[in-house]
A and B are shown apart, each in its own frame.
Chain A
Amino acid sequence: DQQVKQNSPSLSVQEGRISILNCDYTNSMFDYFLWYKKYPAEGPTFLISISSIKDKNEDGRFTVFLNKSAKHLSLHIVPSQPGDSAVYFCAASGGSQGNLIFGKGTKLSVKP
């Protein structure tokens, strides 16, 4: 049973536009959410996180929104740049689980 779901395996966006990556979760005990960026054959790089006491966290071009009632979070990248092209993983932790549960990832392609 997948506790963290990223239903879009891929997303293509024009440079300069907004990229919106979505993530849904099923475990109401999750209280901490993270987004990672990953290039092939490299470890994930932390991008931004949000705790369940907030509904928005912003860091430069990256903003994460959390809707607890819908068990949904999203990552907004604006403006998108070609260097943002990578696989983005949503991850969650909390409750009795100290480890991260990852989604399957969304491959973002930003075209010049």
Chain B
Amino acid sequence: GAVVSQHPSWVICKSGTSVKIECRSLDFQATTMFWYRQFPKQSLMLMATSNEGSKATYEQGVEKDKFLINHASLTLSTLTVTSAHPEDSSFYICSATGSRGRSNYGYTFGSGTRLTVV
């Protein structure tokens, strides 16, 4: 089956620094990647959708200059939290849809990244 690898699984950083989170599709081509954020006891909130080779589409209220998304290849998407602040502390999860040969893979999730900004 489809596997999406996300790392790091957790990261602690100082306020003002930037953090990069990677999401890789291991055995299929991820034509579309989704980035979610989850606050404690809340639902998964979509932040942005990215298609390989094009700019990400951000949901309303998500600062694109703060949350930089790059989807330069069919197997890798990155989310960079720039100038992180404590309020950016959250659980970030990626999801990918794509294909391998004639098989289509939908909505495979990474294992998530716990970001803590101190």
> What is A's interface to B at a CB cutoff of 8 Å?
34, 36, 41-46, 89, 91, 98-105
Contacts and interface: CB of A to CB of B under 8 A. Distances in A.
Nearest to B46: A99
B6 A99 contact: no
B60 to A, nearest CB: 12
B32 A45 contact: no
B6 A43 contact: yes
Name which of A34, A46, A91 has the most chain B CB atoms within 10 A of its CB.
A46
A43 B42 contact: no
Given A100-B44, A100-B107, 12 more contacts: A41-B114, A43-B4, A43-B93, A43-B109, A43-B110, A44-B93, A89-B44, A98-B49, A99-B34, A99-B46, A100-B95, A103-B43
Interface residues of B, number: 22
Contact of A100 (B4, B10, B34, B110): B34
B44 A44 contact: yes
Contacts of B109: 36, 43-46
Contact of B111 (A43, A89, A102, A103): A43
Interface of B: 4, 6, 10, 32, 34, 42-46, 49, 91, 93, 95, 97, 107-112, 114
Contacts of B34: 99-100
A41 B112 contact: yes
A34 B107 contact: yes
B114 to A, nearest CB: 6
A105 B43 CA distance: 6
30 contacts: A36-B109, A41-B10, A41-B91, A42-B112, A43-B4, A43-B6, A43-B93, A43-B109, A43-B110, A43-B111, A43-B112, A44-B44, A46-B107, A46-B108, A46-B109, A89-B43, A89-B44, A91-B107, A98-B32, A98-B49, A99-B46, A100-B44, A100-B95, A100-B107, A101-B46, A102-B43, A102-B44, A102-B45, A104-B42, A105-B43
Contacts of A44: 44, 93, 109
A5 B43 CA distance: 10
